[in-house]
Amino acid sequence: MAGSKRHAQGTNTRLAHIGNNPRDYFGFVNPPVVHASTVLFPDAGTLVSRSQKYTYGTRGTPTTDALTDAVNELEGSAGTIVVPSGLAAVTVPLLSFLGAGDHLLVVDSVYGPTRRFADTMLKRLGVEVEYYDPRIGAGIASLLRKNTRVVFTESPGSNTFEVQDIPAIAAAAKSAGAVVMMDNTWATPLYFRPLDHGVDVSIHAATKYPAGHSDVLIGTVSANAATWPTLFAGFETLGTCSGPEDTYQMLRGLRTMGVRLERHRDSALAIAAWLETQKGVARVLHPGLSSHPDHALWKRDFGGSSGVFSVVLDGGGQKEAHAFLDALEIFGLGYSWGGFESLAVPVFLGDRTIAKGPYEGPLIRLQIGLEDVEDLKADLTLGLRAAGGA
Ligand SMILES: *Cc1c(COP(=O)(O)O)cnc(C)c1O
């Protein structure tokens, strides 16, 4: 469908047509939602050799294929697995590649539950876990060991938005024989394509922008040709397949992700720049702002910014942060992001060992939804006033 020979198609054209071919299913625009465990075989020989396209529900269906074909096209990957949450998109590849005695390097500004998984389950299984400075760049060479099996990156970092020099980190890791994984949830493959920058395994909490409506939990993991067999073997062994309805909903979300992301991007940039000028704000942590210390690196590597960033209040502590949050009327207080509605949460940095500041005051993470920018600014003004700034 998307393979027109005439010219390279734009992002939104591709998003509208990648994945399933309507001609494969009577011309219906969308693929069928296949509910399946058992798949029947025509004879015993085919059954024991499993020599037909579909063999069991956990190993893929026409619905999962429609989605993984679409994601492979966006990521430039050899293969993609679809798992039941963004967190599973982190844990399944780590479990697929790591074993006892291996050394794992993880960026210190990693998503909190990824850290918990590394510090509890991976350590219990005999993996040595070490955290590195998100701004280490090529300096990661000094941390790489003979037994470093995986370097786990996430850029920009969760909540504090440090941008990593992914090409430099990937080059160093590769020459030491380590597999490079990246949690690319913030940018989506529309604004950063990890595999084009030396990453082996690209991870997405598709719960966020791809699903886009705060009602689906799903994750994708996409691998290059060298790492795909190991990733797929781990996925099959663990049995962590996504359900058919969620798989379908993510493909549905992809169709509009381009236009939604443009709106999230523009509104978030406008609000971030405005917040920088407001009394009561010490700093805004958004890599798309020229004031951000990693702005040049972000500009070099990324094609855009999404709708999540943090604001540092000018002094105060938990009391001021809670006053800010409790004064908001449009922004909801709740975890996750990537849906149509704006959200705010206080940021906890107590588990960090390196990327923890110092900051001038409490951090609040904002997800800018699809509402009107002027309404969101008015709401944030209520928050700043309540925190004592304006
Ligand atoms: C939300 C998030 C996840 C986990 O996604 P869930 O679907 O909520 O499990 C993983 N990584 C990052 C960076 C996230 O923001």
Percent of the chain with pLDDT over 90: 97
Q: What is the largest CA-CA distance in the chain?
A: 76
- Count CA within 13 A, CB hemisphere, residue 36: 18
CA-185 nearest atom, ligand 1: 13
Test site for ligand 1: of 308, 336, 343, 365, most ligand atoms within 8 A of the Cβ = 336
C-alpha distance from residue 305 to each of 178, 287, 289 (Å): 29, 8, 10
Query: Do the beta carbons of residue 233 and residue 96 sit within 8 Å?
Result: yes
pTM for this structure? Answer: 0.97
Measured between alpha carbons, how far is 171 from 173 in angstroms, rounded to an integer?
6
pLDDT in tens, 83-137: 999 999 999 999 999 999 999 999 999 999 999 999 999 999 999 999 999 999 9
- CB of 85 closer than 6 angstroms to any ligand 1 atom: yes
pLDDT at residue number 6:
73
Predicted confidence band at 364 (pLDDT cuts at 50, 70, 90)? Answer: very high
**How far from chain centre, in Å, is Cα 253?**
15
Residue with CA nearest ligand 1 atom 7: 86
Say yes or no to pLDDT of 147 above 90: yes
Domains assigned to the chain = 11-253 (3.40.640.10), 258-386 (3.90.1150.10)
Test site for ligand 1: of 92, 153, 161, 185, most ligand atoms within 8 A of the Cβ = 185
CA-218 nearest atom, ligand 1: 7
Measured between alpha carbons, how far is 180 from 167 in angstroms, rounded to an integer?
10
pLDDT in tens, 252-288: 999 999 999 999 999 999 999 999 999 999 999 999 9
What is the side-by-side order of every strand in the sheet holding 128-132? 79-83, 219-223, 201-204, 179-183, 148-154, 103-107, 128-132
- CB of 87 closer than 6 angstroms to any ligand 1 atom: yes
Whether the ω angle into residue 358 lies within 30 degrees of 0, i.e. cis, is: yes
pLDDT at residue number 8:
86
pLDDT in tens, 155-192: 999 999 999 999 999 999 999 999 999 999 999 999 99
The pLDDT mean for the chain works out to 97
